[in-house]
């Protein structure tokens, strides 16, 4: 077996749920690219050790809990990632570490593919972490009428999202147009981020969780007539941008095929 020419990967804690190691390794093999994608589990306490190794990799995705703390280690951060304040991709170029936010492109891809225009809509987002921040950035930039954040710890969420003009509440109600889950609730089909909400025609339910592609929350909303957008499209959109940045291009059909295989294999 020939050692790979390129070493890519994912860093986070945990990473055992992530389908990336199947998606990208399968994609590289299909495209004849001699590259590897490693899922690397890194505690908050050990990020500092990993960063000495980081420039030996050609690039890596970043997930919880490092999307914000990684920024302190980077040589450059692209303006989208800087304005969002969250990085989910690092590329190594001439030994320099450059940060990007491809989640933003994943969110854009998901809404466009679903034919949903957020302008003039009242929207509630569950969660206040890195992906919630990126979603809020997209909603405000695309002229949402109002954005409310549902958070268990209202004070903490206010602190984390102080850069954004958003209301923060402990519970949602039935008055919003669009409901977006940005928490891990629903991963492995456990948990519902909006148990207090009755869905129906005219409401739109959106989930950033991609595994399973139809979470309990989306299933409940869909059955009652709401339009639903799956986190799998966000994942695909984000992966298209990741491959664009890391390998200067993306064969979307091969990528989508690899994602579908991965989601079936990991369940």
Measured from the CB atom, is 1 or 162 closer to a second copy? 1
Shortest CB 73 distance to a second copy, Å: 9
Which of 30, 31, 48, 67 does the annotation list as catalytic? 67
Q: Is 208 annotated as a binding residue?
A: yes
Euclidean distance between CA atoms 30 and 255, whole angstroms: 9
Shortest CB 49 distance to a second copy, Å: 4
Q: Is 134 annotated as a binding residue?
A: no
Euclidean distance between CA atoms 240 and 251, whole angstroms: 8
Cβ atoms within 10 A of the Cβ of 117, count? 12
Q: Is 228 annotated as a binding residue?
A: no
Structure tokens at 62: 């970043």
Query: Based on the number of CB atoms within 10 Å of its own CB, is 83 exposed (0-12), middle (13-18) or buried (19 or more)?
Result: middle
Q: Is 24 annotated as a binding residue?
A: no
Contact residues toward a second copy (CB under 8 A) are 1-4, 7, 13-16, 18, 21-22, 25, 29, 36-43, 45-46, 49-53, 55-56, 265-266
Structure tokens at 166: 């958003």
| 67 is known as an active-site residue | yes
Shortest CB 168 distance to a second copy, Å: 30
The residues that are catalytic are 67
Q: Which residues belong to the annotated binding site for NADP(+)?
A: 127-131, 208, 231
């Amino acid at each position: 077996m020939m050692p790979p020419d390129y070493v890519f990967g994912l860093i986070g804690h945990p990473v055992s749920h992530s389908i990336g190691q199947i998606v990208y390794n399968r994609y590289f093999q299909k495209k004849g690219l001699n590259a590897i994608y490693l899922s690397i589990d890194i505690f908050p306490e050990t990020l500092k050790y990993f960063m000495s190794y980081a420039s030996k990799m050609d690039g890596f995705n970043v997930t919880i809990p490092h999307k914000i703390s990684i920024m302190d280690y980077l040589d450059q951060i692209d303006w989208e990632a800087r304005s969002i304040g969250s990085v989910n991709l690092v590329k190594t170029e001439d030994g320099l570490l450059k940060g990007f936010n491809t989640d933003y492109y994943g969110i854009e891809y998901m809404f466009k593919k679903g034919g949903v225009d957020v302008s003039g809509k009242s929207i509630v987002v569950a969660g206040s972490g890195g992906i919630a921040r990126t979603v809020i950035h997209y909603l405000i930039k695309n002229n949402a009428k109002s954005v409310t954040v549902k958070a268990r710890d209202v004070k903490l969420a206010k602190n984390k999202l102080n850069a954004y003009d958003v209301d923060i509440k402990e519970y949602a109600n039935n008055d919003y147009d669009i409901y977006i889950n940005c928490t891990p609730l629903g991963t492995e089909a456990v948990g519902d981020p909006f148990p207090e909400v009755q869905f129906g025609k005219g409401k739109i339910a959106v989930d950033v969780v991609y595994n399973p592609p139809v979470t309990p929350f989306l299933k409940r909303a869909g059955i009652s007539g709401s339009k639903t957008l799956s986190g799998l499209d966000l994942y695909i959109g984000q992966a298209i941008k990741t491959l664009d940045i890391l390998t200067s291009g993306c064969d979307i059909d091969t990528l989508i095929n690899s994602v579908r295989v991965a989601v079936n294999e990991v369940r």
